[in-house]
Amino acid sequence: MNQEVSSNGYSAKLSRRLLLFWCFFIGIGAVWGSLCMFIDPTGKTFGFDVFFEGFRRLPFYDLYSGLFQNLIFPGISLLIVNGISNLVAAVLMLKKKHIGIILGMVFGITLMLWITIQFVIFPLNPLSVSYFIFGLLQFITGYVCLVRTAQEGYQVSRNDYFNIKNRSDTLVVYFSRVGYTKKLAYDKADELHAEIYEIQPEEQIKGVAGFWWCGRFGMHRWAMPIKKCKKDLSRYKKVVICTPVWVFSLASPVREFCKEEAGKIKHVEYVINHFEYMSWKSVAKEMDQLLGVKGENTVSVTTHMGKVKRLASVS
């Protein structure tokens, strides 16, 4: 089966392991802290008695002061909010449940909110600041893990398309780093009973390192070296170019393709794939200028982690 997996599996595994570490680290720490509160609700044994003075700084303390006469209620809260929650997320991830990743990310936010309350009790103490940073890192790791896992599982199979031809008067050209634009191109070629051609960069574009390397090209609006096109574009009645948007601009390999194939295309259409809810007419305009021909139709597609959110004609 001819498939393209959208991301380097190693990066997804690494982010999962990091998120698993944060869930266990924060969860076990919270369980230990709550056990200390249960063992000695007065807090004197473990030096937690200083909490009682801080509790009085909480808003509307008089309304619920009875809950803070000892450390039982704070211990239960700590156990549920940061202890059991994170350990459950960790177990779900070990069982390869997708919800575990989502919960791990959410519990990073929960920890930051918990520490914000601690800032009221103990303003800007080093321990609370450290755990706020831990919560932020847990959230970031969870988000990266969520994205990488979605990309890792995104596949496009040539075997799923029966109408793509080896010989046709219509050609669909595409560049795709992680596979999303590839699927759009295959869908279009299947719809038009067209041939399909992939723009192949000479640069390394896969994985996390490839993401940042491509970002460098995108930020500077540079053209990226590509392998010479093996198709004679002048023989096709219509060419459809499918491109992602890089750093608010045309993807660098497609920019180089348009430069090299300028003047050879008779009729052209565009499919522009992007994350933001924008039409990106500027990308179509740049391709018009590079190719020396006016695009007859432009379709703007908003894709979030492989799911098409909007599909609209913008010309």
Long-range (24+ apart) CB contacts under 8 A made by 259-265 are 259/223, 259/290, 260/226, 260/228, 260/229, 261/229, 261/233, 261/291, 262/290, 262/291, 262/292, 263/291, 263/292, 264/232, 264/233, 264/234, 265/233, 265/234, 265/236, 265/239, 265/291, 265/293
Q: For residues 90 and 88, what is the distance between their CA atoms, to the nearest angstrom?
A: 5
Q: What is the pLDDT along the chain (315 residues), one digit of tens a residue?
A: 333 333 345 567 888 999 999 999 999 999 999 999 999 999 899 888 888 888 888 888 888 888 889 999 999 999 999 999 999 999 999 999 999 999 999 999 999 999 998 898 888 789 899 999 999 999 999 998 988 787 666 677 888 899 999 999 999 999 998 888 999 999 999 999 999 999 999 998 887 788 889 999 999 999 899 999 999 999 999 999 999 999 999 999 999 999 999 999 999 999 999 988 777 889 999 999 999 999 999 999 988 766 777 665 665
